[in-house]
Structure 1
Amino acid sequence: MRSTSKTILLHEISKLKSKQDQWNPFAWYKQMRENNPVFYDAEQDVWNVFLYDHAKRVLFDHQLFSNKKERSLIPVPRVNNRSNVNFSDPPEHRHRRALLAQAFTPRSLKEWEPRIQAIADELVADMEGQTTVDIVQQLAIPLPVIVIAKLLGVPSQDREKIKAWSDILFYPYERETFGDIADQKARAMKEFQEYLYPIVQEKRKHPADDILSDLTKANLEGEQLTDMEVVMSGIGLLGAGNETTTMLISNMFYSMLFDQPGIYQEMRADSTAMPKLVEEVLRFRFPVAIDRQVAQDTTVFGHKMKKGQIIIAWMGSANRDESQFANAETFDIHRHNNQTHLTFGAGPHFCLGAPLARMEANIALSTFVKRFADIRPVEGFEVTEHLIQSATGQSLKSLPIRVETA
């Protein structure tokens, strides 16, 4: 069996075995906040924090908790080049991030809004006449991957290949099958690189209005990025750009059906409620965690942490910390501070794609709400039959819902 020493296995820390528990880890989060808010996992030599203030400190304080790390829970094969915003800290990280940030400015996103709207219109129009739709397969998966493909300047007809590669790259490792999964990831990464490389070469010769073209012209430390550095940046954006947004859109509909049934009618009556729903879903139903490496010996959280150890901030738990969010276990879109969740991270590594993900989610919801008068669960729905293993534990691979046309 290939060594797993550089890969942290989250489910071995939580010990959550069943699909149901991995889909809903929130009872375990609560137990850890109350009984083990700072928890050392001796098997993997990993510290874990579950409270809001602790998680925020880990994310913000790069001098104490560095993103330069030898081990990680990120399941994507590690490739470090000058354009990689992972595994780096300020000031180096700031230069790398600036290369990609121009694509996600408010002005850039404003230009993209009508294009995203047109894609959402087409996907929702295709549902016309159906009484049952699979919101994951028909909206949550295709919308983000089409958008990020267009944003990058990659042929949108290749979206199924892109999605397949992304799924493999983000699939979590397991100890028993580590070698097989690592081989699959290496193969997917190689195919992805070979697919993008000629596209990048063409962009360098004939730039267009897209991110890959911008990256071929970008300047880092007085030099242009190599073609392979542009390729690797593209893979990072294509993968991350659809994974989180697919989960957000899927979870929005799940929350409207099961976390607060009936709230769909509020969305129809008041469009200003939609961004609030998006933020509450991000707070309430995202079991996400981020790792850092302890950069120096510290007792900042009351325990002796040694330089070189890994620490995990469980943001999905921090987002339900009662000291930050009153009645945190209740789904409430009118919570005054729900946008202070940590799902997109915090500090220098705050997710670059967060504004795009929010825009896509709001457009997807508003477009759907205009077309359909109501939604209901299908009879006999069992969530465990619709889950697939993902980097965060379990996520929805399908969500059939009954719809009524407006």
Structure 2
Amino acid sequence: MNQNIILNEISKLKSKQSQWEPFTWYKDMRENNPVYYDAEQDVWNVFLYEHTKRVLSDHELFSNKKQRSLIPVPREHFDNRSNINLVDPPEHRKRRALQSQAFTPRSLKEWEPRIKAIVDELIADLEGESTVDIVEKLAIPLPVTVIAELLGVPFKDRGLISSWSDIIFLPYNQEAYVDIDKQKGQAMKEFHDYLLPIVQEKRKRAVDDIISDLTKAELDGEQLTDEEVVMSAIGLLGAGNETTTKLISNIFYCMLFDKPGVYQELRTDVSLVPNLIEEVLRFRFTASMDRRVAQDTSVFGPKMKEGQVVVAWLGAANRDESEFAHAEELDIHRPNSQHHLSFGNGPHFCLGAPLARMEARIALTAFVNQFADIQPVKGFDVTEHLTDSVLGQSLKNLPILFDRNR
């Protein structure tokens, strides 16, 4: 049996369109199979909000110490103290504390002007255009530029970093499993060999960035090794990239296709931007997370055995009517949008969530202040602009028409 769990084999959603819009299947599973056992991969699946939240937060029943996972990263590279994903509290708390120093409110406040400057530069580059690919021009370059700068990696190498993290986080599929595994191993090696001299240099001459902070950080009285700092940086670069790119892309897609008219609401009241971000995270994030069943349990009804895997379908939980009234509608005035589970829940809540939110807020606010309106390009067919990603199908292009403020 593969070490990696392949979600499309569980959902049986084969077409790009059905993977981009799995919401009918989510609804069917919530109503008819809320706790579903997939015998082919020996995986339990939960779809309801309360079940999903329990799986993510109860580490005594559902552990993150696991051999099998749907996270498509070659795990042998992360079997050291840099890994904050495959451990449970209390060890998890100690490891996470090292990396979370970089994401304190004080750090974020200090970064805000740097992020704003990057956004302003990217928006200035749209000067003179009337049609633009918002994924290529904003959603992809913004997160990789920000995270590279904060880590202290040369700006000129952001294209390399982006392509390595795309490969490392590429999801597996049954047909090309061996080939994808080989590509990941190669990308991981190149990324590692690129970062190692940077880490060694910063250990000698620390500056004001996250890699320098990691070289000085201590765990149990010992500093992290160069190897552990490299793997921490790869984890942060990859994670800080994919989620924010998808969030910004999805925000524009939602404004154009899920709720036309919402852009003009933002133009009238730009303070609604954070509401829209939370609602897009709830409404159009097809993420899932997995845990190992740590002890035999019937907490959800059927008996789950110790050692089995349970997948929590966050995208399905986020549309559970028991938590979100009229859940199938995108509503930027929803009072509890921020209860969504797209960044997880409990001890493993996404470390980079505040940064992703800040980048999206700064980017969207600047865009709304600059452009009078946006429209879809005529004849746009979403299935021609999708790519496989760890978060399901993601937009690789989204051309939009826009009017500049007169």
TM-score by length of 1: 0.99
Which of 41, 44, 47 aligns to 1:47? It is 44
Q: How far, CA to CA, are the matches of 1:303 and 1:272 in structure 2?
A: 46
Q: How far, CA to CA, are the matches of 2:391 and 2:204 in structure 1?
A: 40
Cα distance, 1:392 vs. partner?
Answer: 2.3
1:262-318 per-residue CA deviation (whole Å, 9 max, x = no partner) reads 110111111110000000000000001000000000000001000000001001000
- Name stretches of at least 5 consecutive residues in structure 2 with no aligned partner: none
Q: Do the aligned residues in 2 keep the contact of 1:200 with 1:213 (CA within 8 Å)?
A: yes
- 1:405 aligned partner: 404
- 2:334 aligned partner: 335
Q: How far, CA to CA, are the matches of 1:393 and 1:61 in structure 2?
A: 25
Cα distance, 1:149 vs. partner?
Answer: 0.2
Matched, 1:194 2:188: no
Q: How far, CA to CA, are the matches of 1:397 and 1:122 in structure 2?
A: 21
Matched, 1:60 2:76: no
Correspondence list, 1:50-199, <5 A: 50-78=47-75, 79-199=78-198
1:74-101 per-residue CA deviation (whole Å, 9 max, x = no partner) reads 0011122112101000000000000000
- 2:2 aligned partner: 5
* Overall identity of the aligned pairs, in %: 71
**Secondary structure of 2:157's aligned partner:** helix
* Count of residue correspondences: 403
- Name stretches of at least 5 consecutive residues in structure 1 with no aligned partner: none
1:166-195 per-residue CA deviation (whole Å, 9 max, x = no partner) reads 000111111111110000000000000000
Q: How far, CA to CA, are the matches of 1:265 and 1:242 in structure 2?
A: 28
Amino acid at match of 1:44: Q
Q: Do the aligned residues in 2 keep the contact of 1:165 with 1:188 (CA within 8 Å)?
A: yes
Q: Which stretch shows the higher mean deviation, 78-87 or 56-65? A: 78-87
Q: Do the aligned residues in 2 keep the contact of 1:387 with 1:394 (CA within 8 Å)?
A: yes
Q: How far, CA to CA, are the matches of 1:23 and 1:378 in structure 2?
A: 19
Amino acid at match of 1:6: Q
TM-score by length of 2: 0.99
Q: How far, CA to CA, are the matches of 2:241 and 2:71 in structure 1?
A: 16
- 2:24 aligned partner: 27
Which of 12, 32, 45 aligns to 1:15? It is 12
Cα distance, 1:393 vs. partner?
Answer: 2.0
Q: How far, CA to CA, are the matches of 2:332 and 2:120 in structure 1?
A: 25
Q: How far, CA to CA, are the matches of 2:391 and 2:141 in structure 1?
A: 20
- 1:384 aligned partner: 383
Q: Do the aligned residues in 1 keep the contact of 2:270 with 2:368 (CA within 8 Å)?
A: no
Matched, 1:345 2:344: yes
- 2:244 aligned partner: 245
Structure 1 residue ranges, 4+ long, deviating more than 3 angstroms after superposition: none
Q: Do the aligned residues in 2 keep the contact of 1:39 with 1:47 (CA within 8 Å)?
A: yes
Q: Do the aligned residues in 2 keep the contact of 1:387 with 1:396 (CA within 8 Å)?
A: yes
- 1:258 aligned partner: 257
Q: How far, CA to CA, are the matches of 1:226 and 1:102 in structure 2?
A: 18
Amino acid at match of 2:284: R
Matched, 1:293 2:292: yes
**Secondary structure of 2:270's aligned partner:** coil
- 1:227 aligned partner: 226
Amino acid at match of 1:27: T
Q: How far, CA to CA, are the matches of 2:290 and 2:232 in structure 1?
A: 21
Q: Do the aligned residues in 2 keep the contact of 1:83 with 1:99 (CA within 8 Å)?
A: no
**Secondary structure of 1:343's aligned partner:** coil
Q: Which stretch shows the higher mean deviation, 75-84 or 280-289? A: 75-84
Q: Do the aligned residues in 2 keep the contact of 1:169 with 1:188 (CA within 8 Å)?
A: yes
Q: Do the aligned residues in 2 keep the contact of 1:66 with 1:292 (CA within 8 Å)?
A: yes
1:1-59 per-residue CA deviation (whole Å, 9 max, x = no partner) reads xxx52110010000001110000111100000000000000000000000000000001
Q: How far, CA to CA, are the matches of 1:191 and 1:259 in structure 2?
A: 40
- 2:322 aligned partner: 323
Q: Do the aligned residues in 2 keep the contact of 1:135 with 1:400 (CA within 8 Å)?
A: yes
Q: Do the aligned residues in 2 keep the contact of 1:168 with 1:185 (CA within 8 Å)?
A: yes
- 1:359 aligned partner: 358
**Secondary structure of 1:293's aligned partner:** strand
Q: How far, CA to CA, are the matches of 1:306 and 1:43 in structure 2?
A: 16
Amino acid at match of 1:51: L
Amino acid at match of 2:44: W
Q: How far, CA to CA, are the matches of 1:114 and 1:222 in structure 2?
A: 34
Amino acid at match of 1:198: P
Cα distance, 1:208 vs. partner?
Answer: 0.5
Q: Do the aligned residues in 2 keep the contact of 1:96 with 1:220 (CA within 8 Å)?
A: yes
Amino acid at match of 1:155: P
Amino acid at match of 2:35: V
The root-mean-square deviation of aligned C-alpha atoms, in Å, is 0.6
Q: How far, CA to CA, are the matches of 1:76 and 1:157 in structure 2?
A: 25
Cα distance, 1:331 vs. partner?
Answer: 0.5
Q: How far, CA to CA, are the matches of 2:267 and 2:84 in structure 1?
A: 39
1:228-251 per-residue CA deviation (whole Å, 9 max, x = no partner) reads 100000000000001000000000
